[in-house]
Amino acid sequence: MSKLFALALGILTAIGGFVDIGDLVTNAVVGSRFGLGLVWVTILGVVGICVYANMAGRVAAVSGRATFEIIRERLGARAGMANLVASFLINLLTMCAEIGGVALVFQLVTGISPLLWIPLAGFGVWIVVWRAKFSALENATGLLGLGLIAFSVAIFLLHPNWGQLGEQLIPRIPVTEDPSTYWYYAVGLFGAAMTPYEVFFFSSGGIEEKWTAKSIGTMRANVFVGFPLGGILSISIAVCATIVLLPQAIAVTSLSQVALPVIQAGGTIAFAFLVVGMAAAVFGAALETTLSSGYTIAQYFGWSWGKFRRPAKAARFHLVMLAGLIIAVIVLMTGVDPIAVTEFSVVFSAIALPLTYIPILIVSNDRGYMGRFVNGRVSNALGIVFLVVILVASIAAIPLMIISGAGQ
């Protein structure tokens, strides 16, 4: 019974923890501008994160090594360092987006400017990564994040014209939008679904929770059941925006537009669920990105890391996270728009993805690490398909950003 409970808990937290500020904003923006014409990208990204997390989780469980320990071992000190710098900076950008997102959720509820919430959000994240137990922070944010089901429920309450909605699923570029803009947002949505920190966190979390080869079954259930259901929440955000925002040409400039369809559909009660879900999901992602900043650097340099150690036993790990948080808060206090930061962060996530994906793909085939748990044929076939997709998205991102004027 307790085994079943643990399995269900894992899957539920995987669902509730799937969505972050990148998914919230990008799906709403895309839904309000392109309807459902980009849903295929979210589906592609969700399949991609399943393939990727399954490999990284298996490597963590079998070899006991997390992503950046692998990168250091396989790429060597110098190439590994270049990889670390790029991955850390892009994770820091995502961290800014998530902390800004926490401030935006509080703005949505209180009407008080996000600038006043940012230091508090940063402090809140710090105190939780300092004090809370790993399983507690993961389960609490994951379960409360299930409040985002409000998006899925809202679709039904809005009584959309299902036929019309179905027709929209066919990928096409609206006449009002430039093709470069369409593809720019395609890259952004892909980066939102397949964000590198999710995998740093997932594989390091596996080591925090002391996975062994016996944990592979549970890990797979989390990935192949939890992530796709989380992906449905993500798509629900785009569907809500398509039904309500697109016809009225409402642009997404803050979280109030993201929430608007849910409020219109379900009133105060739906809004209450939504706010709890958004706050938990975004705060959870802020914790995950903060932990990831510590994981990446500490794993590369071989410092002791992890929430399973007392902070005094992993002092440098905690120091990196504190420094990262301070930088993120300072960046946000300059008054940059957290929504704009989010839109950039998902695109840069797509750019950085090959850096961590390729070493994991290689090591998950290495019998020296994996023994009999190396990738099977299906994993490798999908692994190669996504390698190509990830490389194309990564290479195309900057040119598309320039041509489309960052999606203007």
Partner 1 sequence: MILSDLMRNDVLDPSGDRIGRVIDIRLRLEGVQDPSVARVVGLVVSPRSAASFLGYERSDLTRPVLLAGLLRWMHRGSFLVPWSDVLRIDSREVRLRPGYRRESAADPA
Binding residues for partner 1, per CB under 8 A? 74-79, 361-363, 365-368, 374-375, 380, 383-384, 387
Provide, rounded to whole angstroms, the least separation between the CB of residue 87 and partner 1: 18
Q: Which is nearer to partner 1, 97 or 382 (CB)?
A: 382
Closest listed residue to residue 259, CA positions, set 243, 276, 237, 242? 237
Instruction: Give the DSSP per-residue string, 324-370.
Output: HHHHHHHHHHTT--HHHHHHHHHHHHHHHHHHHHHHHHHHTT-HHHH
Q: Which is nearer to partner 1, 77 or 269 (CB)?
A: 77
Provide, rounded to whole angstroms, the least separation between the CB of residue 378 and partner 1: 12
CA distances for 386 relative to 45, 190, 393, angstroms? 9, 11, 10
**Rounded distance between C-alpha atoms, residue 99 and residue 95, angstroms:** 6
Structure tokens at 3: 């085994």
Provide, rounded to whole angstroms, the least separation between the CB of residue 329 and partner 1: 37
**Rounded distance between C-alpha atoms, residue 398 and residue 113, angstroms:** 32
Q: Which is nearer to partner 1, 129 or 363 (CB)?
A: 363
Q: Which is nearer to partner 1, 177 or 366 (CB)?
A: 366
| Count of alpha carbons within 13 angstroms of residue 101, beta-carbon side | 33
Provide, rounded to whole angstroms, the least separation between the CB of residue 83 and partner 1: 12
Find out whether 274 and 150 touch, Cβ atoms under 8 Å: yes
Q: Which is nearer to partner 1, 246 or 361 (CB)?
A: 361
Q: Which is nearer to partner 1, 140 or 360 (CB)?
A: 360
Provide, rounded to whole angstroms, the least separation between the CB of residue 384 and partner 1: 5
Provide, rounded to whole angstroms, the least separation between the CB of residue 68 and partner 1: 16
